[in-house]
Structure 1
């Protein structure tokens, strides 16, 4: 039975649980300027649901069917929502995994407890948000002192806020212990060079590189690569095996 507060949180995030009842759930966390029904998450559902998993999706603040715009997303608040979704999944499913893309991966890596998941699958993950923000600041000759004094600075790319900068500085991706597999594009021009490889060396995560893809997996070829990778990493649950044998 869901508590009223849990129901309210799920409704606020436009959460959707897809697939027949199962002991296994995959929490899917989309990236910025995306939404819970985007092509990458739909590809996950196409692979995972027939294999016996349910998929828990939701929209980050300002995305999909939620009020506002993606530019209004605050990383600190979004991280709290990911933590809340994972906690809800932990109360209702004995087996939990996570699929997260880009910014959604960073939010998951800094907000999900080490013992909460059996596995994580990350697509084009931002594993060093601090380096990404510092690179943006350098591009526009913005110093930490500038941001501290002005609190908010708008650039042609992104609006920077001191409070969010401090959150990122205080929440780097640390010693992630969950068994993790990563898919990234060889032509990813958003994630700082080498950051994913460094993360893999530090955590033991397994990296697969799609040779013709960039950061965003959206073309027919990109999604075919994603599907092929998911078919390799997503296990078949016992319930699906039992149904196949009936």
Structure 2
């Protein structure tokens, strides 16, 4: 597959596939990178789309850089990518995973995007943070006092928590398809169903899949979903 390595405002980026007027912005999740988009880009190219992927802060080529992967930096990067894509393609689509979906909900809520595909999206960060409070025996008052608390999976931040509470997702007008695993512990099925009903999304549920969709059978499940939704 054709791939073009570029920098967009110092963000390492790959443009995949043969030239087209249509492109998918691929936003990876936690512990991902721009190269993982190859799997999606192969399918997209067969359907007539290019794909653009990039490393989120502290991921991929930016892993050792002194920049946090938080909501503000995530939105900044997505906006930089958007400006580049808008200048070079006529029709823009979105594919986002996990935390990448959460960043997209904030950065792209008012953008002219033709269609969106979300895999294991974080739709309600407040729910996840409160789960982390419970999992790691952290109180809201303790976080407020200490400002940041390290946990085995993520750093809890009071500033981030305040942003989440003050900025719930209230608007999403992009035609969207969601793939969710019923064994996903990061978001409840009630949250995903509520979001899907509120914003008229197509919801697909894999009964045996976890948040990561990493089992042997998950590859075909995700492939079939992409093929049918793209």
> Any stretches of 5+ residues in structure 1 without a counterpart?
1-6, 235-246
Q: 1:109 is matched with which residue?
A: 105
Q: 1:12 is matched with which residue?
A: 10
* Partner residue of 1:179 out of 152, 175, 179: 175
Q: 2:49 is matched with which residue?
A: 53
Instruction: Tell me, in whole angstroms, the C-alpha distance in 2 between the residues paired with 1:201 and 1:219.
Output: 28
- Aligned-residue RMSD, C-alpha: 2.2
| Larger proportion of strand | 2
Displacement, 1:72?
4.0
* Partner residue of 1:74 out of 70, 94, 97: 70
Q: 2:209 is matched with which residue?
A: 213
**TM-score normalised to structure 1 length:** 0.84
Q: Are the counterparts in 2 of residues 137 and 143 from structure 1 also a CA contact under 8 Å?
A: yes
Give secondary structure in 2 for the equivalent of 1:230: helix
Q: 2:19 is matched with which residue?
A: 21
Q: Are the counterparts in 1 of residues 109 and 171 from structure 2 also a CA contact under 8 Å?
A: no
Displacement, 1:84?
2.0
Displacement, 1:25?
0.7
Q: Are the counterparts in 2 of residues 28 and 98 from structure 1 also a CA contact under 8 Å?
A: yes
The verdict on how the C-alpha distance between 1:218 and 1:224 changes in structure 2, with shifts beyond 3 A counting, is same
* Partner residue of 2:34 out of 25, 36, 61: 36
Instruction: Tell me, in whole angstroms, the C-alpha distance in 2 between the residues paired with 1:150 and 1:119.
Output: 41
Instruction: Tell me, in whole angstroms, the C-alpha distance in 1 between the residues paired with 2:18 and 2:92.
Output: 15
Give secondary structure in 2 for the equivalent of 1:131: helix
Instruction: Tell me, in whole angstroms, the C-alpha distance in 2 between the residues paired with 1:47 and 1:161.
Output: 38
**TM-score normalised to structure 2 length:** 0.90
Instruction: Tell me, in whole angstroms, the C-alpha distance in 1 between the residues paired with 2:56 and 2:111.
Output: 23
Q: 1:4 is matched with which residue?
A: none
Instruction: Tell me, in whole angstroms, the C-alpha distance in 2 between the residues paired with 1:138 and 1:220.
Output: 31
| Larger proportion of helix | 1
> Any stretches of 5+ residues in structure 2 without a counterpart?
none
Displacement, 1:8?
8.7
Q: 1:239 is matched with which residue?
A: none
Q: Are the counterparts in 2 of residues 76 and 167 from structure 1 also a CA contact under 8 Å?
A: no
Q: Are the counterparts in 2 of residues 90 and 116 from structure 1 also a CA contact under 8 Å?
A: no
| 1:22-81, Cα deviation, whole Å (9 max, x unpaired) | 11010000001111222xx33211210122111010010111121328994222211221
Q: 1:143 is matched with which residue?
A: 139
* Partner residue of 1:157 out of 139, 145, 153: 153
Aligned length: 226
Give secondary structure in 1 for the equivalent of 2:170: coil
Give secondary structure in 2 for the equivalent of 1:99: strand
Q: Are the counterparts in 1 of residues 25 and 95 from structure 2 also a CA contact under 8 Å?
A: yes
